Structure 1
Amino acid sequence: MRPVFNFLFSIKTTLLLLAILGIGAAAATFIENDYGTSTARVLVYYSWWYIGALFLAGINLAGVIWRYRMWRHPPRFLFHSAFLLIGIGAATTHYFGQEGILHIREGKSENRMLTAEPYLQVTIHTPRGSWYQEFQKDFSAIGDNSFREIILFDGGKELTVQFVDYKFAKKGRATMGLLSVKVCYEGDCKVTRLVGRRGGKGFPKTLDFGDVKVTVEFGSKVVHLPFALKLRDFQLERYPGSMAPSSYASEVTVIDPKSGNFDYRIYMNHTLDHRGYKFFQSSYDQDERGTILSVNDDPGKWPTYLGYILLALGLLWNLFDPTSRFGKLVRYLRATAPFLALLVILGTGFLPVEAATPSDFERYLPGYRQGSAATAGNFGRLIVQSPMGRMEPVNSLDTQLLYKLHGSLSWKGMDQDQVLMGMLSRPELWRYARLLKVKSPKLRKVLGLPDGEKYAAFADAFEGKKGYKLKKYVEEANRIKPGERGTFEREVIALDEKLNVIYMVFYGNLYRIFPMPGDPHNTWYNPLEAMQKFAGKERATVEALTRHFIDAAAAGDWQAADRMVGQIRHYQQRYGASLIPPKEKIDAELLYNRLHLFPRLVGLYLLLGLVLILAGFAEILRENPGPWFRRIRLGAGAVLILLFALHTFGLGLRWYIAGHAPWSDAYESLLYISWSAMLAGLIFFRHSLLVLGATVMVAGIFLFTAHLSNINPQITNLVPVLKSYWLTLHVSVITASYGFLGLGALVGYIVLWLFILRNPAKRPQIDRAIRRLVAVDEAALILGLSMLTVGNFIGGVWANESWGRYWGWDPKETWAYVSIIVYTIVVHLRLIRRWDRPFILATASFLAFASVIMTYFGVNFYLSGMHSYASGEPVPIPGWVYAVTVAAIVTILLAWPKRDLGPVLRGGSSIKSPERFGKEV
């Protein structure tokens, strides 16, 4: 019995169970992507083996807490026990709660809820009465689904329902199941096919057995609530001039004979709670005359929430506890090198009318460049309405356009407003402007560019009567799957997109600067649309303003052009004043665009990070580093503080302009992760050149990634569900954790290189440096894991308060869970004696970051889900992924022969007794 006890309550079993849970969940995301949610739940999430592993993990955790008397250390006991409480709450919700959908049309009452889970429902009709029986069934597109159910009715008569076949159909993200069953009564068997799915009502089929008729149905079942809801009015608000919803709400009346009737307004993040049921605004009918409410009966809410609170308190307290592993690492680092520890951180136109030649453009350009600056600046202060309804200065649109076309904010000494105003006013000349960089030699040849010329003009893509030179190549490239496209095909498609943007600029199609008078939707139009849609005096005014402005700018009459800009501004104030942002916000956005801080910080971070890493290696390789290393550290610290202040200012400015925290999309969250990594380095690791360099390099890499071509840096409006304070807490904490985990990965990689350089006989200082760096690595991982865990559970609260469920096994949620498991394993490897080695921790911390990359990027582009950006064919895997993978494998193999180095904190690696556990872990 004791061997079983020791095995069940051992740390090795803990790590084994965590590995099973993590690998299973990771595999399930790919199963779900290919075979649908039901298959993933049947094979993994709701399978006997996965629920069994979760149950054993809970038993194991309880046994470890008891066996090693963890209550002697309150912080550790608190957050470990919190997981047990969360598990109890989750099990209560799963097994005793209810979840479904309530659909109501305006003016109608409804008390029928459709369950989220699918059922096989059987109704037997006989002359003596009817009998109903249901079986909760979900089916997998792969594997064994067989079942045989026996139903007794009418005094002992027997009916059997047996599985025959199940087929899975997927169209886009919508899935449907085709279930074939065999129904037998008194030797007579009939096979029927049922169409149904999770979350949708099935289509019943009736089978005739003479006096007995059997109706079978597969799909979600109808549940009658003890009260009804009447939809008095559904209200949808859109962002001005767009189809994007800003918010939606349901004005309902609760009809309850027991407690009385009352009115209530349900909207996103504002739920109706009545008699144990919570109603969440989920969606709406396309005609905007009906609402779809999520319904949730959650008996496990309070145990779960209490567990979340204890978890956060315990993890926070653990960072302050001097007897914790984190506290010991801090003391070790203080003893071996200066180290300051902050224990808690949240770280965040018109068509050409006459022929022109390239020489005409060259003669025109100097005069335009010299005279247009002031007018272009005034033009940039006009307000334009984006397709998503955001009101912004024209300068913001010009910034996005020129950066997309040319990759910078200036061209030949002209800023973005000058370039775009020129394209609007003289398209026949600007078609010769060489704005578009072409990397492919083959594409340069197709365009007919002169030898040595790397930039193409709009005119280069066209050739007299032959028309568009790229037509054939674009068609061929689009027929190739994205994953199979080569460099030439990808560049052809990108260039074709840029040429289309230029064409729309020439027409003025992108400049929605004229508000329609009296429009209830507050739609603004571009000049040509306004001339077509407006009527009477307003149409004449728009036409006159547009033509006079274009004529004046084309002729170089800048005083007249300025007057026209002023009159356009007056028109905007007259008909669209309610939408125009305050002058302070316009000025702030113009400053943000002009500074262009984040792209400029990329090179500075990467260059400074590389210099610091090289200096750090040089310092380690010298037995007695000279005083100039200290000077480098002080100088670099001053520069980094300045760069960090600029980074912080940029984030704050973007927050003020957007009106919401700057981590609501991929671009903003990358900015925030970079910021948190810098903050971590400056506060925690500023006294180590190598670690500080690694921190700056991590910040630079994240910032560089934010400016890749497939990530949109545009400031946008929030979708309704993101208008929640829980979003700010969830995203700020969880994305900041990526900065610490990224730092741990890079420090781990640097440690591997130090292992390669080890020579204990000649360079003992390298071994000392490895131990210090591994301590830094472990401290960063503990901080990152704590924040990742708390941030993930805050996300569960947000989800439950916004749409009535903590967890939906969405791929992004699941991979965040996998990342928590991965890093939990990494930070607990030291508890097994022979795994408590710097080489193992460095390797594990480096490789573990792959789970974060998968969470942040892989899910977004390769798996479908509510957090995903994937649509259609997945984008190709970048070449650098393969290069980094090979480099990682080679580095680990080179470091392997010199891996024999003892633990950082001796005597604290393994658990032999409760007393030792209490004192040393």
Structure 2
Amino acid sequence: MKKVLTSLISMPFMGLLLMAYATAMAVATFMENDYGSTVTRYIIYNSWWFELIQLGLVINMIGNVFVYKLFQKQKLSILIFHLAFIIILLGAATTRYFGSEGIMHIREGNTTNQFISAKSYLQIWEAENEDKMIFDQELFISPYIKNKFSKNVKSNGKSVSIVLNKVIPNAERNIIEANDGHPVIDIMLAGQNGLKGHIIEDKVSVQLNGLEFYLNSDRGDSTVNFLIEKGKLYVHSPFETKSLSMQGKTDTILLPNIKHEIQPRKLYDINDTKFIIKGFSEKAKINYVMGSIKNGISSNTLIFEVSSGSEIKKLGLVYYKSQIGQTALVVINGIKLKLSYGAKEMNLPFALKLRSFQLERYPGSQSPSSFASEITLIDKSRNINENHRIFMNNVLEHEGFRFYQSSYDKDEKGTILSVNNDKAGTVITYIGYIFLALGLLWSLINKNSFFAELSRRTSEIRVKRNKMASIITILLLFISQEVSSQEFGKKYYDDDHAKAFGELLIQDQGGRIKPMSTFSNEILRKITRKEEWEGFNANQVVLGIMFNQEYWKDVKMIKVGHPDLMKKLQVQGKYVSFNDLVRKDLGGYLLQKDVEKAFAKSVGKRDKYDKELIAVDEKLNIFYQVYSWQNLRIFPEPGDINKAWLTPVNAKLMKDSIGRVFASTVFTNYFKEVSIAWSTHEWSKSTAILIEIKTFQKNHAAEILPSERKVKIEIQYLSLNIFKRIFKYYGLVGFVLLIILFIGILNPKLKLNIVTKVAAGLLGILFLFHTYGLGLRWYISGHAPFSNGYESMIYIGWAVMLAGFIFMKKSSITLAATAILASITLMVANLSWMNPEITNLVPVLKSYWLTIHVSVITASYGFLALGALIGLLSLITMIFVTKKNGERLNLTISELTNVNHMALIIGLYLLTIGTFLGAVWANESWGRYWGWDPKETWALISIIVYSFVVHTRFIPFLNNKFSFNFLSLIGFSSILMTYFGVNYYLSGLHSYAQGDPVPIPTFVYYSIAAILFVSLTAFIRNLKNQKQLE
């Protein structure tokens, strides 16, 4: 028994549990991508063996508290954050077994005290005993798993067996005439997503759009009751029934509380619920066959075998996710039972009334800026009648229930709220988060911690290494200058006028108002993948396309990335002109049929050629929109409720007569003056017209215009192009410094203090520019610069350099490594598939919790990336160790390994705190602090991976420099998966991908091969050196 307990709390067993935990979660993220989150939860996250792993980790941590005496005063910081994980897991268990969540839908003016459960339940009632519930149990069913369910229930002293036979996805239901059948109606209900079919069986009610529909009811209450009599169908409703034409106009009004005959395949409306009777029968059975699953699974039909006495019947229940289960009736052995499977209505001890729903959009756009629900909380037991406002990141909490703004109806007259009842689980989890942050931060400053010990070790190693060197100073520094491109044809374009044109404001499709310089830059980059063209800047190019169309139609500037497409067009090089694609002599647009074929294919079946066709088509359309002025939204329409701006083409639609005259003529006049100015080189009149347009914008849209200072700063930000410029210099200085430092390691007589200080100074200047660029982007956008892939990459580059400066005193090589890594990061940010445009935020991203979460977790990537690079440098250094230089290089390896360990500890702490800050954001935004979304799951996997790496010093066979550096290198693959893999290859709340994932670049495979080669070589050399030492 003692041996078993010792094994359970041993560090090797901890490592085994951590890797099993991480592997299970990794598999789950890919499973979710293919089969959905509910299946993944059932098979993995909610499985007994997954919870057993978590329990094993808890036992292991508790055991190690005593093994390593973490309760000692000098180790209290370590004790606190290890106990925090136990508290967090306890909170998760509380949420898992005692929490509940669901969805509440309220229309304006309505009051409700019910919400729909997130979980699905199988419910059984006795139909002839006032619908007495005899079975109510949570049940998970999916066509992707082996579904097993059987239950015996008692009714009227008789036993009824109910066995699940099979599950049919997207089942199509047919009514089949049968002598032993029962009355059935096939009804099509018109909803926001089109028509949806429902079956109503004899003596069974169905809730549809808030109305209760019944067939052959004898209840006489407020239900809508259908009756089948002598082959005809009738309706008896407490509400007025409208007979509509297919155009939606009222033909006939049927009075309430009177039986009226209705006709199949005719549109009716009862209390704003529209429906069509597809068919009905007095004696029928329902047959289910599998439908198409090409576009996914929208419903499942459960086929049950019901038996009692000698009778056996089949019963089908249709299930739609997050909808109340439809009810079906079975009559067997003289017993009538009603069955339902799906979400169920949950009652609240109070009610909410929706006074109004409010949706704000970005000016001139359909993109939501924010949406909110004006709610009245009604609690009669506490005599409460209070008004509240629920919006994204602002919740209503009452009696342990929390209500979050989730979504809204398409007609914007109803709200959808997420409901969460998990006060105990949330409180326990938040206590765990507080302990975690306290323990981790305390560990960094605790002089008795392993982190502090690493710092002391590194300083001692550096002193030893410096003593081995003689005093010889060498300085190597060179400065590189870029050769400016030849100016071509610039005399035809006036720089001052192009600058004035660039200051004109334009509204983009997302509603953001920005300088024309930004718009021009985006246009040129999309068409050419460049930021200038043959000496012309972006403003000059756009001016040329707009006003010198015939010339620019012949300019080969549309980038084509597929050689077969160039062959088809019979054009040399990598660029084509507008006229190469649109040939009047050959019938117009040459790619029209090919593009239509490409669009007709499903996304998954499009090859590289198809994708390039679509990309070229988009570039051609952008070019066309510029030269035809169709995307130049520069005229604000006075009094427009959406604050939309108009183009010169549709300015004639402006309602304001004075504004209409100005907007309809001024751009034509501008065209004339620009045409004259190109010949006379006199641009004053053209510039004066731009001033008139700017004045018009100020007079009619002052409340939404950015300040002049912000406009100038945005133009400055664009012209500086900081992030594209500095990555070259980061790489140059870092690479030169790294080579010099390695020369110094191999030749200890060289003293490189001056070189290091000069390089550090240059990198410090670049870092200040980097920081300045981030600040400019933050100011211009109005939000922290990490809301998309491009922004997070430039921020990671900044965090990498920050890490380099933090560890510079411990190791100069670290600074060189971080400079190279920052250069690579910024280079990736400037690749063609990264979008550097500044855009508006979606409502859920407007949260200070998000800002803190992303800044902390993204900063961790910088330290972990540094660890990976130091790991690689350490492995490379191991390859060059010989008897002659062994003592000196081993000191360098020890120094790098210690710095690596420190970087990983800081990175792991930041990653852990950042991940759980994200959980707080999620809980404050939509009421769930952990939902196993692929992004958060891979963040947790990364935490597990790096926890394993930093604990390898406790595992005897991994407690060596090679293992630690190798694991720190390959461990970074979990971060790459968290950042790139989830964003572009998996589905989830954090996914940026649209359609097919981005192809894996070829250099990735070469990089993996190079890393494996270096690692294997270092392993062999290290093994050989260890034997020599023995």
Give TM-score scaled by structure 1 length.
0.91
Question: Which residues of 2 match residues 125-524 of structure 1 at below 5 A?
Answer: 125-127=127-129, 130-154=132-156, 157-168=158-169, 175-260=298-383, 261-298=385-422, 299-337=424-462, 365-369=489-493, 372-438=494-560, 442-449=564-571, 454-466=574-586, 467-471=588-592, 474=595, 491-524=612-645
Choose 1 or 2 for highest CA Rg: 2
Say whether residues 1:119 and 2:160 are aligned partners.
no
User: 1:432 aligns to what SS in structure 2?
Assistant: coil
Q: Aligned in 2, Cα 1:81/1:399: closer, same or farther, shift over 3 Å?
A: same
Partner of 1:18: 18
Counterpart in the other structure of 1:351: none
Structure 1 residue 512: deviation in Å?
A: 0.9
Which residue does the alignment assign to 2:87? 85
Instruction: Work out the CA distance in 1 between the residues paired with 2:870 and 2:295.
Output: 42
2:1017 aligned with 1:894, yes or no?
yes
CA distance in 2: counterparts of 1:797 and 1:510, whole angstroms: 41
> Take 1:267 and 1:116, find their aligned partners in 2: how far apart are those partners?
21
Q: How far apart are the structure 1 equivalents of 2:449 and 2:65?
A: 15
Counterpart of 2:707 (choices 582, 586, 601) is 582
Contact in 1 for aligned 2:508/2:633 (Cα 8 Å):
yes
Change (3 A) 1:888 1:487: farther
- The structure with the largest helix share of the pair is 1
Q: Counterpart of 1:102?
A: 104
- The structural deviation recorded for 1:366 is 4.6
Structure 1 unaligned residues grouped into runs of 5+: 340-361, 904-921
Distance in 1, matches of 2:814 and 2:600, equals 48
1:21-78 deviations in whole A, cap 9, x for unaligned?
1111111111111111121011101111111211222122112213332111110000
Structure 1 or 2: more strand by fraction: 2
Following superposition, the deviation at residue 338 of structure 1 comes to: 7.4
C-alpha distance in 2, partners of 1:306/1:209? 55
Q: Contact between 1:43 and 1:140, CA under 8 Å: does it hold in 2?
A: no
Does 1:859 pair with 2:1002?
no
CA–CA separation in structure 2 for the residues paired with 1:658 and 1:46: 41
Q: CA deviation at 1:609?
A: 2.8
Distance 1:480 1:876, change over 3 A: farther
Residues 392-444 of structure 1: CA deviation (Å, up to 9, x unaligned) = 11111112122233333333333221221121111122222333455655544
**Cα gap change, 1:141/1:704 in structure 2, threshold over 3 Å: closer, same or farther?**
farther
Larger deviation, residues 251-260 vs 157-166: 157-166
Question: What letter is aligned with 2:88?
Answer: I
**1:259 Cα deviation after fit:** 1.3
2:649 corresponds to: 528
Could you tell me whether the CA contact under 8 Å between 2:630 and 2:649 is conserved in 1? yes
The corresponding residue for 2:694 is: 569
Cα drift, residue 287 of structure 1: 0.3
Q: Distance in 2 between matches of 1:239 and 1:56?
A: 51
1:780-791 pair list within 5 angstroms: 780-791=903-914
CA–CA separation in structure 2 for the residues paired with 1:670 and 1:338: 36
Contact kept, 8 Å, 1:117 with 1:198, in 2: the verdict is: no
CA distance in 1, matches of 2:48, 2:718: 55
Deviation at 1:239, TM superposition (A): 0.7
- Tell me the TM-score normalized by structure 2: 0.81
- Matches of 2:299 and 2:1006 in 1, distance apart? 40
* Count of aligned pairs: 874
Alignment CA distance shift 1:733-1:148 (3 Å): same
Distance 1:684 1:338 in 2: 16
**Cross-structure match for 1:759:** 882
Deviates more, 1:747-756 or 1:325-334: 747-756
Distance 1:253 1:823 in 2: 48
Q: Once the two structures are superposed, what CA deviation does each residue of 1:277-322 show, in whole Å capped at 9, x if it has no partner?
A: 1111111000000000111111222221111011001001111122
Cα gap change, 1:184 to 1:875, in 2 (>3 Å): farther
Give the gaps of 5 or more residues in structure 2: 171-292, 465-485
The answer to whether structure 1 residue 49 and structure 2 residue 49 are counterparts is yes
Cα distance in 1, alignment partners of residues 729 and 603 from structure 2: 33
Range that drifts further, 773-782 or 408-417: 408-417
Once the two structures are TM-superposed, the CA of residue 127 in structure 1 deviates from its matched residue by: 4.9
Please tell me whether residue 602 in structure 1 is matched to residue 603 in structure 2.
Answer: no
State the match for 1:342 in structure 2: none
The aligned counterpart of 2:744 is 619
Paired residues of 2:746 and 2:885 also in contact (CA < 8 A): no
Which deviates the most, 466-475 or 752-761?
466-475
Could you say if the C-alpha distance between residues 635 and 87 of structure 1 is closer, same or farther in structure 2, counting changes exceeding 3 Å? same
**Structure 2 residue identity aligned to 1:561:** S
Q: Who is 2:991 aligned against?
A: 868
Name the CA distance, whole Å, in 1 between partners of 2:446 and 2:33: 43
1:74 equivalent among 76, 85, 95: 76
Please give the alpha-carbon distance, in whole angstroms, between the structure 2 residues aligned to 1:841 and 1:126: 71
Deviation at residue 274 of structure 1 after TM alignment: 0.9
For 2:624 and 2:582, the matched residues in 1 are separated by 12
Deviation at 1:635, TM superposition (A): 1.7
1:128 & 1:436 partners in 2: Cα distance?
73
Give the C-alpha shift of residue 490 in structure 1.
Answer: 5.0
Aligned CA distance change for structure 1 residues 771 and 639 (closer, same or farther; 3 Å): same
Match of 2:984, SS?
Answer: helix
Counterparts in 2 of 1:537-576, with a 5 A limit?
A: 537-556=658-677, 557-576=682-701
Deviation string, structure 1 residues 843-867 (Cα, Å, up to 9, x no partner): 1111111111111111111111111
How far is the alpha carbon of 1:664 from its aligned partner? 1.5
Do structure 1's residue 644 and structure 2's residue 645 form an aligned pair? Answer: no
Q: Quote the residue 2:60 is aligned against.
A: 60
Deviates more, 1:433-442 or 1:609-618: 433-442
The one-letter amino acid paired with 1:46 is N
Whether 1:7 aligns to 2:7 is yes
Question: Structure 1 pair 762/684, CA: closer, same or farther in 2 (3 Å)?
Answer: closer
CA 1:551–1:750 in structure 2 vs 1: closer, same or farther (change >3 Å)? same
Query: What SS does structure 2 have at the residue aligned with 1:266?
Result: strand
State the alpha-carbon separation in 2 of the partners of residues 499 and 582 from structure 1.
Answer: 34
Shift of 1:688: 3.4
Do the aligned partners of 1:744 and 1:777 also contact (CA within 8 Å) in 2? Answer: yes
Bigger shift: residues 687-696 or 632-641: 687-696
Q: Is the 8 A contact 2:555 2:578 kept in 1?
A: yes
Measure, in 2, the Cα distance between the counterparts of 1:707 and 1:561.
35
Give the match's secondary structure for 1:300: helix
Matched, 1:692 2:812: no
Residues 1:38 and 2:1 are matched in the alignment = no
Take 1:899 and 1:85, find their aligned partners in 2: how far apart are those partners? 42
CA distance in 2, matches of 1:10, 1:475: 63
In structure 2, C-alpha distance between the alignment counterparts of 1:247 and 1:387, rounded to whole Å? 17
Separation (CA, whole Å) in 2 of partners of 1:841 and 1:459: 60
Once superposed, what is the RMSD of the aligned Cα atoms?
A: 2.5
For 1:821 and 1:101, the matched residues in 2 are separated by: 33
**In 2, distance between residues paired with 1:63 and 1:193?**
52
Q: In 1, distance between residues paired with 2:432 and 2:135? A: 37
Secondary structure at the residue paired with 1:126?
coil
SS at match of 1:255: strand
Contact 1:312 1:790 in 2 (8 A): yes
In structure 2, what is the Cα distance between the partners aligned to 1:443 and 1:887?
A: 34
Q: Distance in 2 between matches of 1:610 and 1:174?
A: 53
Task: Judge which range, 542-551 or 283-292, deviates more.
Answer: 542-551
Seen in structure 2, the aligned counterparts of structure 1 residues 806 and 97 have a Cα distance that, compared at 3 Å, is same
Deviation at 1:647, TM superposition (A): 0.3
Contact in 2 for aligned 1:338/1:687 (Cα 8 Å): no
